[in-house]
Amino acid sequence: MDKYRVKPGMKVILAEWDPEDSSEFKGSKAEGLAKNAKLNIKLEELQNLLYAEHKHKLLVVLQGMDTSGKDGVISKVFDGVNPQGVRVASFKVPTTEELDHDYLWRVHKVVPAKGEMVIFNRSHYEDVLVVRVHKIVTPQLCKERYKQIANFEKLLADNGTTILKFFLNINMDEQKKRLQERLDDPAKTWKFNPGDLDERKLWPDYVKAYEDALEKTSTEKAPWYIVPANRKWYRDLVIATLLVEALEKLEMKYPAPPENLKDIVIE
């Protein structure tokens, strides 16, 4: 899955990244779903170990266009993990209190503590994406924020946080299909926001904003992965595989039990 990683200094042109790609798994969709189920069990085991060892931290950042599947990743990839050690943080329009602080203040408050896995459903990158597209901040300020974000993530990584950032890559045709599904399916209509259609008109601007953010903030300690997301099962397979690999590299161990357990008799 390393083919999807944005190497530091790499030029990013999203048109060159195929959202339909599924080349890193040679099996069928059914076989992919079966593989996902096994990965989910492994992820559950590793997350339990992360929580028990209480030493490492994991931050997962999910970004993408509207309907790219951020909610789907959270529900499918993280299905079964222990809620005690997992949190989801979503970033909406800043509150008055948040606007009174620097833009990273609200983010730093919700990063993972030792033993925790935290998933950002959207993230601090909104402050170089939406605000750029809608010209709320200047291009020069965006350039400064790329450096600030990279430094912020370095701080987290230097203090024991493993960071994985996933851009869920879909095309306009797939977005149109998913928006239509939201209109047609009563179970999904609540998710439809007419404002998404206005944002859809700005697709080229968002592409450019994402390209700049991906290439300027993908580092060795906080890499971006451009995940093909038109096929939901493959999207989940890529992310679950990378999560399991990252957690396995931590070589975690359960804490040593208290001494003299052999003398304990439970009556």
What dihedral angle (degrees, nearest 10) is formed by the CA atoms of 74, 80, 84, 86? -20
Paired tokens of 184:
């047609």
- Distance, in Å, from the CA atom of 119 to the CA atom of 54, rounded to the nearest integer, reads 18
**Distance separating alpha carbons of residues 229 and 22, to the nearest angstrom:** 9
Q: How does pLDDT run along the chain (267 residues), one tens digit per residue?
A: 999 999 999 999 999 999 999 999 999 999 999 999 999 999 999 999 999 999 999 999 999 999 999 999 999 999 989 899 999 999 888 899 999 999 999 999 999 999 999 999 999 999 999 999 999 999 899 999 999 999 999 999 999 999 999 999 999 999 999 999 999 999 999 999 999 999 999 999 999 999 999 999 999 999 999 999 999 999 999 999 999 999 999 999 999 887 778 778 888
246 token code pair: 């990252």
Q: Given the DSSP bridges, would you call strands 5-6 and 224-228 parallel, antiparallel or unpaired? A: antiparallel
Domain boundaries, the chain: 2-20+28-172+206-250
CA end-to-end span of the chain: 52
pTM of the prediction? 0.95
Residue 240's nearest CA partner among 118, 123, 74 is 74
Q: What is the CATH number of domain 2-20+28-172+206-250?
A: 3.40.50.300
